[in-house]
Amino acid sequence: MSTNIVWHEHAVDKARRAESLGQKPLVLWFTGLSGSGKSTIANLLEQKLTAQDKHTYLLDGDNIRHGLCGDLGFTAQDRVENIRRISEVSKLFVDAGMIVITAFISPFRADREFCRNLLAEGEFVEVFVDTPIEVCEQRDPKGLYKKARSGDIKDFTGIDSDYEVPNNPEIRLEYADESAEQTVERLYAMLADKGLV
């Protein structure tokens, strides 16, 4: 923990930035197993929102590990640190007035709650992409389940590392028997119904 530092208040605050962008800043936190469709749905949702002149930024699990979290592995401790960093970055984007879309397995409830607790009430929206592991394994877009089953990958979520299902997500999104586009339309309708977009 840093010491001998004092928070510096700035004249332009989150409310002013959000007003200038004409939107409600928030984090749409997509969580679910590998292969559940988080990144695909998040990407399509961002396209839909930007087409409506919303100001967004998408933080994706694999992409973040090329830079900000490139020094982390996949142990439980590293996963916690990965989500801690993402949470702090998300908070900065919300402070800038943005709609932040994240796509991370984020397997531990406590880590997701850490991000929720960094933000004001209503600024964290947990979107549980509830895809059965059997479907995720059939998709296996990166061949990770196959490697995990053969023992080539250790600590793989859903195989030999736990995934803690959200207790009360703001949105539970099933994505198994329809196209990604249809799923995003359903998701957008849910967000709109809640007054979030």
**Catalytic annotation, residues:** 106
Q: What is the CA radius of gyration of the chain?
A: 17
The answer to the question of whether 36 is labelled as a binding residue is: yes
34 is annotated as contributing to ligand binding: yes
| CA atoms of 191 and 189, how far apart (whole Å) | 5
179 assigned ligand-binding residue: no
37 annotated ligand-binding residue: yes
Tell whether 49 is in a known binding site.
Answer: no
Residues 6+ apart with CB under 8 A from 22: none
Q: Consult the annotation and say whether 38 binds a ligand.
A: yes
Annotated binding site for ATP: 32-39
Binding-site residue ranges: 32-39
